[in-house]
Amino acid sequence: MYKIIGADGQQYGPVSAEQVRRWIAENRANAHTLLQPEGAADWKALSAFPEFAADLQPAPPPFAAAPPPGGSAPPAASSRASAKIPAGILGILLGSLGIHKFILGYTGTGLIMLLVTVLTCGILAPVMHIIGLIEGIIYLCKPDEEFVRIYVDGRKEWF
């Protein structure tokens, strides 16, 4: 059994090896898709698993455009980090409502922040706002690659 991180950044599983093979055949998973075997602590690219080597078809080489001046992140990292700025700004401005969590796809934690604020009639809103403020600053200070690694691929929900 395996857990897998889809192209949408969501974690799926546990799923069988046969299901993973079906997803490879349907082009829903590729050599770069992150996979975690049951009982393992770390995530590895699908290409690192010999049991799926025969199922993986060589992908065409990616289009390599010249990087823009100033050494900004490659397009793949920037597109996956597209939620970084809205999540950071909303974390700073509306942190007590947890909207920044919903933007990143963390529905459960966003709901927790929203419900704590609403159900306490705003008494704990300052606490939730401080959490959102800190998270917003952290999101905006991280480079795109690190943001994607921690919050998109790694699914780290708090701080």
Contact 85, 136 (CB under 8 A): no
* 11, β-bridge pairs: 5
- The pLDDT assigned to 77 comes to 55
The residue that leads in pLDDT, 151 or 61, is 151
Each residue of 93-148: pLDDT tens digit? Answer: 998 999 989 988 889 998 999 999 999 999 999 999 999 999 989 989 988 888 88
Task: Say what the pLDDT of residue 133 is.
Answer: 94
Q: Give me the helices (H) in the chain, please.
A: 17-25, 75-80, 84-94, 99-103, 107-119, 125-141, 144-147
Rg over CA atoms, the chain: 19
pLDDT tens per residue, range 8-58: 778 888 889 898 888 888 888 888 888 898 888 888 888 888 888 888 766
Max CA-CA distance within the chain? Answer: 58
Q: What is the pLDDT of residue 73?
A: 47
pLDDT of residue 47: 84
